[in-house]
Amino acid sequence: MTFQDELEKLRRDIHREPEIGLDLPRTQEKVLAALDGLPLEVTTGERLTSVTAVLRGGKSGGKPGPSVLLRADMDALPIQERVPVDYRSTVDGAMHACGHDLHTAMLVGAARLLSERRDQLAGDVVFMFQPGEEGHEGAKLMIDEGVLDASGSRVVAAYGMHVFSAIVPSGWFVTKGGPILAAADTFNVTVKGRGGHGSTPHRALDPVQVGCEIVSQLQTYTTRAFDVFDPVVITVGQFHAGTADNIIPDEAFFQATLRAFSPETRARLKEGVVRLATGIAEAHGLRAECSFGIGYPVTVNDAGEAAFAGEVAAEVVGADRYLTMPRPATGSEDFSFVLDEVPGAFLVLGAHAKGADPATCPTNHSPETEFDDSVMADGSHVLAALAERRLLNV
């Protein structure tokens, strides 16, 4: 079996049995089995089914050397797969629609490549296999459990890679310095009024009317308070209130996602929406209770690390398959928690289905998402080269 065949087999095994969230016991088993026999120090997570593996480089003489971290996320999504491939999901309502199965296999591949070249490694490599990227802060939990210091000292740099099933041509690597993905925060608002009869609104405090005013003013706020070149996006995705046409309810609830592309704007946005909601409610004699759900920071690539990662990708696969991204993408990532702690870079690898048009084919998170897993050997080689070469420049 070739290296690529082995990666494909592992990826497809994981694809058939997707698991969601922080608890991925079957996926963890597959990763542990795939790493078995390699000269790694392997530990598993306490609050999540993570796998951390440390490879000691031969050139550090057995002592902990400087270290570099490579990361893959492993979780799937609550989606019913509609792709007619023979390795499609066998789990009802779960699908690897974001390509984390490819990430996992590529990182196993990088661990194999670097284990073979261990003697030449000028330091240690930490392999971070992470559950719960899709809204569960898995990266943050692994940081809390010590992944950044797993080698005995803080990693000097960290790299992550994500496949796209559309937009980027298959086999191409792209990245950029600075913000590469948006911050995303969930904003919850409960407008508390006083219920009453629909015929006598003056005897009640109507939370529906005030909730609607807040929703529409949020859009005015985004266009008047923020630079269009450091944009924000607010989408109110749900709004619930009331039980009948002639009853004024006690309260109204809505939930929005806030997106921003710089940490400063994210902070100002979170402060501003609370001020706006509570201020509007108070102006009408009601109260707005505001809270935030789990939020992911802006994913910010270190400028030097992103340039280095781009050079390495171009050297490994050829300059004709590397491109510097002109602007960030609007998705978000919990690898941002890692990049908040240590310098590093996040790269995107194009992996759309063979014969598909990247401009129109289904994106990640679609039930029809299909990835070309023949890009995986290149992905593993780039990850391995990033660690190997970065350790030479510590």
Where along the sequence are the contacts to Zn ion (CB under 5 A)? Answer: 98
**Cβ of residue 352: shortest distance to Zn ion, in angstroms?**
15
**Cβ of residue 349: shortest distance to Zn ion, in angstroms?**
12
**Cβ of residue 73: shortest distance to Zn ion, in angstroms?**
6
E-strand ranges in 264-333 read: 287-296, 299-301, 322-324
Encoded tokens for 21:
């969230």
Residue 100's Cβ-side half-sphere holds a number of Cα atoms within 13 Å equal to 30
Residues contacting residue 361 through CB under 8 Å, at least 6 positions apart = 165, 166, 352, 353, 370
Q: Which is nearer to Zn ion, 98 or 158 (CB)?
A: 98
Question: Among residues 48, 27, 161, 23, which one has the least CA distance to residue 96?
Answer: 27
**Cβ of residue 326: shortest distance to Zn ion, in angstroms?**
21
Helix axes 376-392, 3-16, angle to 10 degrees: 110
Q: How far is it, in rounded angstroms, from Cα 122 to Cα 119? A: 8
Encoded tokens for 176:
């950029």
Q: Which is nearer to Zn ion, 163 or 277 (CB)?
A: 163
Q: Which is nearer to Zn ion, 76 or 281 (CB)?
A: 76
Q: Which is nearer to Zn ion, 107 or 113 (CB)?
A: 107
Amino acid at 123: G
Contact 310, 175 (CB under 8 A): yes
End-to-end C-alpha distance for the chain, whole angstroms: 36
Q: Which is nearer to Zn ion, 168 or 290 (CB)?
A: 168
**Cβ of residue 75: shortest distance to Zn ion, in angstroms?**
8
**Cβ of residue 314: shortest distance to Zn ion, in angstroms?**
24
Helices and strands (H and E) in the chain: how many:
9, 16
Q: Helix, strand, or coil here: 46? A: coil
Encoded tokens for 191:
């407008």
**Cβ of residue 193: shortest distance to Zn ion, in angstroms?**
40
Contact 295, 256 (CB under 8 A): no
**Cβ of residue 169: shortest distance to Zn ion, in angstroms?**
19
Q: Helix, strand, or coil here: 25? A: helix
Which residue's Cβ has the minimum distance to Zn ion? 98
Q: Which is nearer to Zn ion, 278 or 364 (CB)?
A: 364
Q: Which is nearer to Zn ion, 96 or 270 (CB)?
A: 96
Decide: residue 77, CB within 10 A, 0-12 exposed, 13-18 middle, 19+ buried. buried
Q: Which is nearer to Zn ion, 98 or 286 (CB)?
A: 98
Question: Among residues 57, 14, 47, which one has the least CA distance to residue 32?
Answer: 14
Q: Which is nearer to Zn ion, 133 or 302 (CB)?
A: 133
Q: Which is nearer to Zn ion, 98 or 345 (CB)?
A: 98
Which residue bears the tokens 């542990």? Answer: 32
**Cβ of residue 162: shortest distance to Zn ion, in angstroms?**
6
**Cβ of residue 364: shortest distance to Zn ion, in angstroms?**
6
Q: Residue 292 forms beta bridges with which residues? A: 187
Residues contacting residue 33 through CB under 8 Å, at least 6 positions apart = none
